[in-house]
Amino acid sequence: EPEVTQTPSHQVTQMGQEVILRCVPISNHLYFYWYRQILGQKVEFLVSFYNNEISEKSEIFDDQFSVERPDGSNFTLKIRSTKLEDSAMYFCASSLAVLMGDTQYFGPGTRLTVL
Amino acid sequence: QKEVEQNSGPLSVPEGAIASLNCTYSDRGSQSFFWYRQYSGKSPELIMSIYSNGDKEDGRFTAQLNKASQYVSLLIRDSQPSDSATYLCAVKVARDSNYQLIWGAGTKLIIKP
C-alpha cells in the first residue's frame, strides 16, 4: 500500500541553525501539506502546496519557513533559523485532490529538537 | 472563529464495552468530518470519514454526524486494549478557494483490560 515517507525520523539541531525536513508524498497525489504538533498539543496546519506553489499557509508559517518540491518526488520544509519553540513533531501529508471528501494521508513524522 | 472542540479526557472504558467520543464544531458550512487515531509519538491515522447526516459503520467503528447540532461522534464497539490512543476529530472547512483541515485537540481513550 502506498505511503508517505519522511526523513529523518529525528533531527537535533542548535538554535539558529537551518534544518530541512524531507517528505516523499504518495506518488499520484497532487496536494501536499505540512503540519506541526508540539508535544501534548493539537495538530496545527502550517502550509499546503499544489502545482509548485503555496496554496494556503497559517500564521505559524512565517518568513522563517519555506517549502519546495525540488524534483518529482520530494517535498521539503526548511526552517531558516531555528528557535527553541520550533521543537515539535512535523508531519507531512498528501492527498489526491482537495475536494471536500478527499482524505489526507500522513507520514510518520520528524521529531525536531532544538537545543 | 473556526474551532473544533473535544473533551481531552482521559476517557476510561472497560475492555469489551462501547467507547463514545464526541466532537463539536463551530463552522456551519463544514461538509467533511474525519476521525483520526494517534498513538503516542506516532502520526495520525485515518479511522473514519463522514459527510452526510446519520450513521456510518465500518467494522467496530461507527461515526455519527448531526449537522443541525454541529456535532460528530465516534463509537467503538467491543473496545480492545489496542484501541487505547488519542482520537482526533478533524473538520474540513472552505477557505477562499481552498479547503483546510481544522483539528480538535483530541480525546485520550484508555481501554482497561
- Residue B18: CB atoms within 10 A of its CB come to 12
What is the share, in percent, of chain A residues with pLDDT greater than 90? 74
**Are the beta carbons of A24 and A110 closer than 8 angstroms?**
no
The string of pLDDT tens digits covering residues B20-59 is 999 999 988 888 999 999 999 899 999 999 999 999 999 9
Alpha helices in chain A (DSSP H): none
Q: A48 vs B98: CB contact, 8 Å cut-off?
A: yes
- Alpha-carbon distance B29 to B70, whole Å? 10
Predicted local confidence at residue B2, as pLDDT:
58
| Chain A, nearest residue to B87 by Cα | A42
Please give the order of strands across the beta sheet that includes A75-79: A5-7, A19-24, A75-79, A65-68
Rounded mean pLDDT of chain B? 92
The residue count for chain A: 115
- In this prediction, residue B95 has a pLDDT band, given cuts at 50, 70 and 90, of confident
Q: Could you tell me which chain B residue has the CA closest to the CA of A90?
A: B43
> How many other C-beta atoms are found inside a 10 Å radius of the C-beta of residue B66?
12
The partner residue sitting opposite B42, judged by closest CB among A55, A99, A108, is A108
* Portion of chain A with pLDDT greater than 70, in percent: 97
Mutate to test the interface with A, among B3, B32, B99, B107 (most CBs of A within 10 A): B99
* Average confidence score pLDDT of chain A: 92
